[in-house]
Each structure stands twice: as C-alpha cells, then as structure tokens.
C-alpha cells in the first residue's frame, strides 16, 4: 500500500506558535481563546472607567433631535405674524403689530363731481364701550286694540340695538294673552302686575308706572328710563337717541287735538342741546311748570336709587302723583327729578325733529273678544255663487 505524506503548507511558515506547537494544536487554540477573552474583559473595564466613553451611547441621537425641534418651535413662537411697523428703521427693537384694517382712499366721480371716499379706520385694539341699558316702561290694560298696540311697540323694540329691557305692567292680574305676546317678541322683558285696586282710579297708568319705578329702584337697574304708552307711535331714532342722555332728556311730541282735525306740538324749544322755552297750545295747561308729554322725556335710572349722586336728595321716593289734576302728572314728576331747565338736555340737538306721535286713536264701543279670538264669524254672510 502506498502512503501519501503531506508537507506543511508554506502559508503557515512565517506564523509563530506558542511553545512550538502546531497551528491547530489544542494548546494554540486555548491560547488564542484566552487572549480573546482577556481583550474583551479589558475593553469592558475601559468602557466602565472612562467617563468620556460612557457619554457615548444610543441616547445621543434622540437628544440632538429633541434639541433641534425645541429651537425650531421657540423661533416660530417668537416670530410676530402681521404687519410690522419698523418706524422707518429708526428703532428696530420696537415691533408694533397692526391689524390688517387700513384706510382706503380713492377718488370717486359721480355726475362729473369728484370727491374722496375714505373708509373709517379702526384703531388698534380699541376698548369696547358698553351701551347704556334702555328701560322702556309700558302700562297696558285689556281692551280691543291691546294686542295690536303691544305687537306694534314690540316690533319697534326688536330693531333697537341691545341692551333693551321692556317692562310691561298690567293691573290686578297678568293676562295669558299678554304673556304670550311678550314671549314671542324676542325682546328682553319683565311682566309686572300692579296690585292696587283700579276701579276707583281715574288714571290707572300712574300706579302702573309707579310699580315699574319701584321695581327699578328695588333691583337698582342702571340705564335710561322711558315711559312708552302702548298706543303711541315711535321712531327707531328715538330709542337710539336715548343712550345719549346723561341725566334728563326731553324732546317735542306731536299729537292730535281732541277734534282730530289738527296737530299740536308740545315740548321744549332748544338752542342746540339747551332748553330755552316750551311749545304749548292749550291755555288750561299754561300753569304747568314744564310743558312735556308723558312720552316726551327720559331720565337716568340712578336718580331713583342714588339721588345724592345728582345732588337731589329727597326724603320720599320719586313717584308719580295721583292726587293732581289730569295733565299735571308729568310736570309734578319732573320737578322731583330736575331743578330747572339747566339740568335738561334737548334730544336731538336743537329739538328739530319729531320722534314720536301721540294719536289717541282707540276704537270706541268695540267689544273685547275673550282671548283675542272671535268665537263667531261676521253676522252678514254672503253665499258664493
């Protein structure tokens, strides 16, 4: 049998071996394994003892991402959005943010005449001034035209800019029909009842207005009080002008004469907003101090519950009197509110416009339908052919 002998490969001639062993001898393999384990142990000791190497870990990348996003968010938060007024470059550290509202000026020609149209500019961050509360007092009672009158006043009050409080006063008891109308108007209201017996009273409206004045004084309502009877006709401009009154305002009222064939003007004569005289056409009323209709004046409600503010302290509350003759309720009430014409304001300036009418157009001898519903049709029936 022939034998084959392999010689040692020249590849391993230059490799040193420990203790002169062969390349794949157990001694050489164990020595290499021990060296590899010792190297790993030394690298572990170096990583645990070196502080610089301990800072290098898998948390570095998330940390840098968080830092980058934080800086981007901070810069976006500090960036002003809007129109920046640089003050012509004089003060670049002062940034004033302005809203986009600006003044627009343009020339407009109408029929060959040119003029400049300018839109009003809203000032930056103006404070909103609250409007004064308008307190409208309306006495009412059951009659044929009551529903029509209340709805007419309600439709006018719906057009007035809020806040508006409508105080409707009935006698003895609150009717269901009146409550239904008030609920459907969309106007803020209070439905009051005057508990006083009205059978032996000539002017029931005096006590009904006093019930409203007691309510205003009790709850300290702050606004402008106006007595608006339900059978009068009012313009929208009247209620808009009430908020201009500081203490006591008055204006002329047009009314029909009892004969219904001419109009009578009653109220102040003004020079600007100063009252200098009075319009009156009835000789029997010339004895009155102030010639004003009940619907021709309004006053600040604080006079009722804070008279010392207006330097008019009274030992008794400000109320209308039922002991005076008809036609004198207005002047006796106004004498409790103001001293003379110097405390009054003409509305509108110069008292140049009629803002409401007192017509006295109640239908006479008309049966009052129960619940404002006619149970039967008209007596005259015509058949359709």
Tokens of 312: 């008019």
CA 136 to CA 150: how far, in whole Å?
A: 13
180 catalytic? Reply is no
Would you say 254 and 263 are in contact if contact means Cβ atoms under 8 Å apart?
yes
Tokens of 115: 């003029």
User: How far from each other are the two terminal CA atoms of the chain, in whole angstroms?
Assistant: 147
For 318-353, give one letter per residue: b (16+ CB within 10 A) or e.
bbbeeeeeeeebbbbbbebbbeebebbbbbbeebee
Burial class of residue 135, CB neighbours in 10 A (0-12, 13-18, 19+): buried
What is the residue whose two structure tokens read 């009842």?
A: 193
Q: Catalytic residue among 161, 214, 266, 330, which?
A: 330
Cα 19–Cα 20–Cα 24 angle in degrees, nearest 5: 100
**Is residue 231 a known part of a binding site?**
yes
Q: Which residues are annotated as a binding site for Mn(2+)?
A: 231
What positions carry a catalytic annotation? 330
């Amino acid at each position: 049998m022939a034998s084959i002998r392999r010689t040692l490969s020249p590849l391993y001639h230059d490799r040193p071996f420990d203790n002169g062993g062969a390349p794949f001898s157990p001694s050489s393999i164990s020595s290499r394994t021990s060296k590899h384990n010792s190297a790993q142990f030394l690298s572990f000791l170096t990583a645990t003892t070196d502080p610089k190497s301990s800072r290098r870990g898998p948390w570095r990348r998330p940390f840098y991402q968080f830092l980058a996003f934080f800086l981007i968010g901070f810069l976006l938060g500090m960036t002003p959005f809007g129109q920046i007024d640089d003050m012509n470059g004089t003060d670049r550290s002062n940034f004033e943010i302005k809203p986009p509202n600006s003044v627009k000026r343009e020339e407009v020609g109408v029929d060959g005449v040119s003029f400049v149209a300018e839109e009003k500019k809203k000032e930056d961050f103006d404070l909103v001034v609250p409007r004064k509360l308008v307190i409208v007092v309306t006495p009412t009672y059951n009659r044929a035209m009551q529903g029509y009158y209340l709805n007419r006043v309600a439709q006018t009050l719906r057009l007035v800019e809020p806040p508006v409080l409508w105080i409707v006063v009935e006698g003895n008891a609150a009717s269901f029909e009146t409550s239904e109308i008030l609920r459907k108007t969309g106007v803020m209201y209070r439905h009051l009842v005057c508990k006083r017996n009205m059978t032996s009273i000539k002017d029931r409206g005096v006590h009904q207005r006093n019930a409203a004045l007691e309510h205003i004084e009790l709850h300290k309502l702050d606004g402008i009080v106006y007595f608006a009877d339900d059978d009068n006709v009012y313009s929208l401009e009247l209620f808009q002008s009430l908020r201009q009154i500081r203490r006591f305002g008055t204006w002329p009222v047009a009314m029909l004469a009892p004969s219904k064939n001419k109009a009578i003007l009653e109220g102040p004569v003004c020079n600007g907003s100063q009252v200098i005289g009075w319009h009156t056409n009835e000789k029997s009323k010339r004895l009155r101090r102030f010639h004003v209709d009940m619907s021709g004046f309004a006053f600040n409600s604080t006079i009722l519950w804070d008279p010392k503010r207006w330097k008019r302290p009274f030992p008794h509350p400000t109320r209308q009197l039922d002991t005076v003759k008809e036609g004198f309720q207005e002047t006796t009430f106004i004498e409790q509110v103001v001293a003379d014409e110097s405390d009054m304001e003409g509305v509108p300036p110069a008292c140049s416009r009629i803002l409401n009418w007192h017509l006295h157009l109640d239908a006479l001898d008309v049966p009052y339908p129960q619940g404002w519903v006619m149970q039967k049709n008209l007596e005259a029936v015509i058949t359709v052919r």
